[in-house]
Amino acid sequence: MKIPSFDLHLEDNLSKKKKYRKNLLIFGLLNLLWFIFRTGTKPRRIIYPCQQDALKNVSISIGAIIPLFSLSIIWLKVKTWFSYGKAAIIIMLTVSTVSTGVILNSAFSPQEVTLEILPRASESETVSEIFVVNGPEVAHVTDLINLMGSQNFSFYQSTISGVNQGPDGLISATDVVLLKTNCQWSQRGGTNTDFLKELIQAIIDHPDGFDGEIVVADNGQGRGSMNFGKTNSEDKEQSAQEVVDSFALTYDVSTFLWDNIRGNEVQEYSEGDMENGYIVYDDEDPETEIYVSYPKFETDYGTKISFKQGIWNDAEYIHNLKVINLPVLKSHSIYGVTATLKNYMGVQTEALANGHDKVATGGMGTLMVECGLPTLNIIDAIWVNANPESSVTVGPGTSYNMATRVNILIAGVDPVALDYWSAKNVLLQTSELIGHIDSYSLDPDSSVTTGLTEAFGIWLNKSKDELVRAGYNLTSDELNMNVYVENLTLDVEPGHGIRQWVWIGSFGATLITLFVGAFVFIRILKRRKINK
């Protein structure tokens, strides 16, 4: 029996529904095209947040269109549904929606391995020094400082010479110490907050009594946080902000998230501009084509800091700003490895400049030349991501299951030597122990660019060339490195990871479509029984 009022209502709104379905279809197609373009030939990128959002949008679009399409046709042309052909179409549409989700066979790393780290003594007159503490009992800041001090490389600057201190030491009691962390990633992708806490404690334990200031800073390019709920630490809820707050009642310790000023272009304090923001060079570097940019900002305690020029005292710059660079050692999906040099991506701003694109040309070297080398680099290799380019779990984003614990801290002044040595002796070794057989993307001696924007070894050497041209004595040759090691390791059985099936997509649209399909299928069966 026909219901006129209902039919008229449907007919009046049919054109609106068609327009709505058309818009949904365009929305879904645009998201699908963007997803294909951004993913390219690298399926592992499917797990990136932007790709996941695009997939969800595609799934939602299809899942919303199908019920609208189905209901309209069911009510307007109910008799035509009960045929095998239309039933097949329903099934095909349902399957197509289900297929908008992506299933990945993901390889996860074992939780801990033990590495064999050997010392090295160079016979060269000009060497770069690397200090390594290896093992859960010694991978601590105090052990690292003691190892450095044993080789006359004092952490504390003091007029009194002694253990770990002297006139040539790094950090004075009145310095402003900027700890450049990695705050762009949660879980194992960011700087270990236990390590951060130990370092802050070591600084305020200055033998002359610390009367300076400490600021923890980074630019996560819009996705950074000092307050992640899942962090790289034993207590997985211990954020960088929580660590800082534990000292702030007694000492001048604060955080500054440069994300919040990354889009504000300003001038230097000396030019009368007191606003927080980024200085951006007018011209690109002739060699690397990077537009150099760096932050200037005022801390919670009123200290005005220019990352390049130092501390502004309302009349001139004073040079007691000491930068300690604290990268996490990880694989990188397009640049092979991220460590000391790549961590300076969090110094420049992507909102106003082009730093990330120019990593390949040596741009991080240019940035260090213009802003000055860090006073010290300490690589956080307590947990590493040693999954190479060929793995779906390649970094830089690193969840708890993607990381491997190796319990190592690595320090030095030469960023090139640190990156070369750490990749070759820590990442490559770990990658082999956890079962990877094609780890060329982690190898600083490899020039293979398959799947990469640029091979790690190539852009590392281009960065080195920039620094050498500026007069720095740096090396990527292990024959010119002194490696001092304190080993205290436990035997840990190496594993080959575990595998887990991961679903990425939208279940909501799929469930709706399955419900509609099931409803129509049951009606078909009932109709066939009646006809019989």
Q: Could you please report the per-residue DSSP string of 190-211?
A: SPPHHHHHHHHHHHHT-TT---
Asked if residue 219 has pLDDT above 70, the reply is yes
Place 289 in a pLDDT band, splitting at 50, 70 and 90. Answer: very high
Asked if residue 247 has pLDDT above 70, the reply is yes
Give the pLDDT of residue 519.
61
Asked if residue 218 has pLDDT above 70, the reply is yes
Please, where are the H alpha helices in 176-250? 193-204, 240-248
CA distance 407 to 133: 8
Give the pLDDT of residue 348.
98
Give the pLDDT of residue 529.
52
Give the pLDDT of residue 474.
97
Convert 46-82 to b/e letters by CB count within 10 Å (16 or more is b): bbeeebbebbbbbbbbbbbbbeeebebeeeeeeeebb
Least reliable range by pLDDT among 76-80, 252-256, 435-439? 76-80
Asked if residue 196 has pLDDT above 60, the reply is yes
Which carries the bigger pLDDT value, residue 95 or residue 197?
A: 197
Asked if residue 45 has pLDDT above 90, the reply is no
Instruction: Describe the crossing of helices 193-204 and 240-248 by its angle, rounded to 10 degrees.
Output: 20
Within 10 angstroms of residue 392's Cβ, the number of other Cβ atoms is 18
Asked if residue 278 has pLDDT above 80, the reply is yes
CA distance 40 to 451: 10
For CA atoms 290, 291, 297, 303, the dihedral sign is positive
Residues 462-488, mean pLDDT to the nearest whole number: 97
Which carries the bigger pLDDT value, residue 66 or residue 406?
A: 406
Asked if residue 396 has pLDDT above 60, the reply is yes
Residues 145-166, mean pLDDT to the nearest whole number: 98
Give the pLDDT of residue 57.
64
Asked whether the beta carbons of 212 and 172 are under 8 A apart, the reply is yes
Place 106 in a pLDDT band, splitting at 50, 70 and 90. Answer: very low
Asked if residue 514 has pLDDT above 90, the reply is no
Residues 206-212, mean pLDDT to the nearest whole number: 98
Give the pLDDT of residue 30.
72
The model's pTM:
0.79
Asked if residue 496 has pLDDT above 50, the reply is no
Give the pLDDT of residue 88.
55
SS3 29: helix
CA distance 121 to 485: 11
Residues 222-228, mean pLDDT to the nearest whole number: 97
CA distance 421 to 444: 8
Residues 258-284, mean pLDDT to the nearest whole number: 98
Residues 126-155, mean pLDDT to the nearest whole number: 97
Tens digits of residue pLDDT in 343-353: 999 999 999 99
Place 520 in a pLDDT band, splitting at 50, 70 and 90. Answer: low
Give the pLDDT of residue 15.
56
Give the pLDDT of residue 29.
73
Asked if residue 55 has pLDDT above 70, the reply is no
Residues 21-50, mean pLDDT to the nearest whole number: 60
Asked if residue 84 has pLDDT above 70, the reply is no
Give the pLDDT of residue 490.
63
Residues 19-43, mean pLDDT to the nearest whole number: 62
- Mean pLDDT rounded to a whole number for the chain: 85
Within 10 angstroms of residue 120's Cβ, the number of other Cβ atoms is 16
Residues 311-335, mean pLDDT to the nearest whole number: 98
Asked whether the beta carbons of 215 and 254 are under 8 A apart, the reply is yes
- DSSP tag of 337: E
Give the pLDDT of residue 516.
56
Give the pLDDT of residue 488.
85
CA distance 360 to 343: 14
Place 501 in a pLDDT band, splitting at 50, 70 and 90. Answer: very low
Asked if residue 493 has pLDDT above 70, the reply is no
- For residue 396, is the peptide bond before it cis, meaning its omega torsion is within 30 degrees of 0? yes
Place 448 in a pLDDT band, splitting at 50, 70 and 90. Answer: very high
Question: In degrees rounded to 5, what are phi and psi of residue 18?
Answer: -60, -45
Residues 113-125, mean pLDDT to the nearest whole number: 95
Comparing C-alpha atoms, which of 368, 292, 355, 382 is closest to residue 325?
368
Place 33 in a pLDDT band, splitting at 50, 70 and 90. Answer: confident
